[in-house]
Amino acid sequence: MQDQNIVIIDYGMGNIGSIVNMLKYLGFKSTVSSDKGIISKADKIILPGVGHFDHAIKNIDKLFLRDVINESAFIRKTPFLGICLGMQLMCNSSEEGVLPGLSLIDASVNKFVFPLDTKLKVPHMGWNYIEICKKSRIFDSLDEKSRFYFVHSYYVKCQNEIDILSKTTFGVNYVSSFEKDNIIGVQFHPEKSHRFGITLFKNFLERY
């Protein structure tokens, strides 16, 4: 196992087992924890998530994790990867709830709303392409249009164009990943995206 202190934040909502297995496959040991002391010493942090925005924020606040997340992201500049709901939690707010997000990036989360006669079904589920908008180490060795696995009913809108890392089209052309300094969010599930996800995780763990 490669020697890095990789912490996956456990706040009771997330596809954690699949991420642990993916990292193990790549030769990296990870720690799953909600302990502030352990999180504060991480070399890399992953914030997973599946479920409702407000429920997730309530769990994070019950565990008093907001401060250590902010300190890790903004003061220690720890490389920080949010996945699916984890990406949305990094934003300011979400139409899925009323509670404030973590505000790690200036962005909001909107609900997919389509006309009744549309053939598009929500949630957006399955494989889709990403269109890379700017150069980033996280996408090294990936094709211009790589495919990832998505499951979500809400999507991110960044206030600053420069933060947008990739876009994906599903009724609207939305932000499927963002990056600002050490903060990265991906709407898709790299842990379910086969070789594309393997490359992304490998880049995050080895190039940041």
Catalytic residue among 52, 71, 84, 194: 84
Q: pLDDT tens digits for the chain (208 residues)?
A: 568 999 999 999 988 999 999 999 999 999 999 999 999 999 999 999 999 999 999 999 999 999 999 999 999 999 999 999 999 999 999 999 999 999 999 999 999 999 888 888 999 999 999 999 999 999 999 987 799 999 999 999 999 999 999 999 999 999 999 999 999 999 999 999 999 999 999 999 999 9
Catalytic residue among 131, 179, 189, 206: 189
Catalytic residue check, 55: no
Say what the pLDDT of residue 188 is. Answer: 97
Catalytic residue check, 189: yes
Residues 10 and 33: beta-carbon distance below 8 Å: yes
For each of the domains in the chain, give its residue range(s) and CATH number, in order of start. Answer: 2-207 (3.40.50.880)
> How far from the centroid of its chain's Cα atoms is residue 155's Cα?
12
Say what the pLDDT of residue 118 is. Answer: 83
* Cα–Cα distance, 11 to 63 (Å, whole number): 7
Catalytic residue among 96, 124, 152, 191: 191
41 is written with which tokens? 């010493």
Residues 201 and 23: beta-carbon distance below 8 Å: yes
* Cα–Cα distance, 87 to 158 (Å, whole number): 12
Say what the pLDDT of residue 1 is. Answer: 52
Catalytic residue check, 191: yes
* Cα–Cα distance, 186 to 88 (Å, whole number): 9
